[in-house]
Amino acid sequence: MQRIGIFDSGVGGLTVLRELDRQLPQESILYFADTDRLPYGTRSPQEILQFVREIIPWMLSQQVKMILMACNTSSALALETVRQEFDVPILGLILPGAAAAVHKGQRIGVIATPATAASHAYRDAILEIDTTVQVWEVGCPEFVPLIEQNRLHDAYTYEVARRYLQPLLDRDIDTLIYGCTHYPHLEPVLRAILPPGVRLIDPARSLVQATQQELTLLNLQNRGDRVPTQFRVSGSPQQFARLSQQWLGDFPHVEKVYLSTTLELPIESID
């Protein structure tokens, strides 16, 4: 009966929520968006790890049974570390996304946040599976702010997208990975620029397939009634609700939460 907790910096995780609704409609979800601190993609690895170390204990206090990082930046930079630190199944996007892409193409482009691109998490994961494919990663710093400002259909967004995609088009890619969960929201823009033969890979699909396998393996599937998704944010609930209603279909109820920061206390000896 417990929820699956999913988190992102903002509305990107809604593309993972959409897949959960499609593939695992019986599961109940807690969605957290760290909107007070977005974008994550231009932050340092240390900051991202710190944020994830604050989000997971809060999610555990909400009794979640499993956590999905609905954020590539956190998956690339913090997943391996926090998996050792917390006693809860935690899944990320990179491996499922890499595996899905390798099955589809030979010349793979990855569009991602600057932090994810710089980590080369996708390139490394793909080459681990198949050393014969070629991979090119492009950091796209302007996409997340444009999406969070609801500028999806601005002429400027098309201009920026053309600029980011050009180096990949020059390489004649056959497959493009959405290396950030915000980017499927830009599908109409990207489709308008990409040649029709280029396959788009949304890692959320395979992440949710992996989630289903994990739930079955651990015998954690929901056997009760599904309860409505809970939305929690660290920034403005109104702003998140207004922006996300276009994807959710209705105006969600959103509440603000305050994450307690981890205090690094000096160790003192007590005499």
Binding site for ligand DGL (CB under 6 A): 8-9, 12, 38-41, 71-73, 113, 116, 144, 180-182
Asked if 140 is an active-site residue, the reply is no
In the set 180, 186, 215, 254, the catalytic residue is 180
Smallest distance from the beta carbon of 9 to ligand DGL, in angstroms? 3
CB closer to ligand DGL out of 41 and 252: 41
Smallest distance from the beta carbon of 44 to ligand DGL, in angstroms? 13
CB closer to ligand DGL out of 72 and 211: 72
CB closer to ligand DGL out of 113 and 157: 113
In angstroms, the CA 113 to CA 259 distance is: 24
Smallest distance from the beta carbon of 172 to ligand DGL, in angstroms? 26
In the set 30, 71, 95, 204, the catalytic residue is 71
CB closer to ligand DGL out of 37 and 226: 37
Smallest distance from the beta carbon of 266 to ligand DGL, in angstroms? 32
Active site residues: 71, 180
